[in-house]
Amino acid sequence: MTQYVKIPKDRIGVIIGPKGETKKFIEDKTACQIEIDSEDAKIDVTCEEDSLKEFRVIETIKAIGRGFSPENALRLLEDDMLMLEVIDLSDVATTPKELQRIKGRIIGRNGRTRELAETLINVKISVYGKTVSILGYPEQNTIVRTAVRMLLDGATHGAVYKFLEKKHQELLRSRLDSIDLY
């Protein structure tokens, strides 16, 4: 079965990679075939054996299309629990100026807000086009989605930082609780 995904034209080269290396790496690792139509920015993915692999390849391509580096996106092929989540900002921002303001709030001054969320919650975040994308485990993605929603709803950066720090402590505690010391 063949599935396709459309991505921004300016990300096609990233999916192909230098001398076709990224595309070839994905094909070799997954035994899937990737056909790229550069004119329409449409990518066909065919995996004869495994529809789950096909889904993971599509998610990997979407992640690269949403601004993640191939190195970060390729983690989706390594870990079945890792998820890509895309938040569409066009529902919230009605003008290009408002979209810029909202993206600026999410990124923060000198990238501080995005960096803090990535570090405390252990995710990767990409703000690209009209979207914010998150690469993480489901629980982590939920936390970051909530933090983004807080910023969209007008919460102060300080309140969002407190929320992220509290969730960081909860994540640490739950990891410690899951370790069997005996």
- Domains of the chain and CATH, by start: 2-78 (3.30.1370.10), 83-178 (3.30.1370.10)
CA atoms within 13 Å, Cβ hemisphere of 60 = 31
pTM comes to: 0.90
Distances (CA, A) of 103 to 55, 76, 88, 146, 147: 29, 25, 11, 15, 13
Cβ atoms within 10 Å of 158's Cβ, excluding its own: 8
Q: What is the pLDDT of residue 37?
A: 93
Is residue 62 within 8 A of residue 128, CB to CB? The reply is no
Is residue 16 within 8 A of residue 22, CB to CB? The reply is yes
Cβ atoms within 10 Å of 25's Cβ, excluding its own: 14
pLDDT tens across 112-142, in order?
999 999 999 999 999 999 999 999 999 999 9
Phi then psi for residue 67, to 5 deg, are 105, -5
pLDDT tens across 88-97, in order?
999 899 899 9
Q: How far apart are CA 169 and CA 173, in angstroms?
A: 6
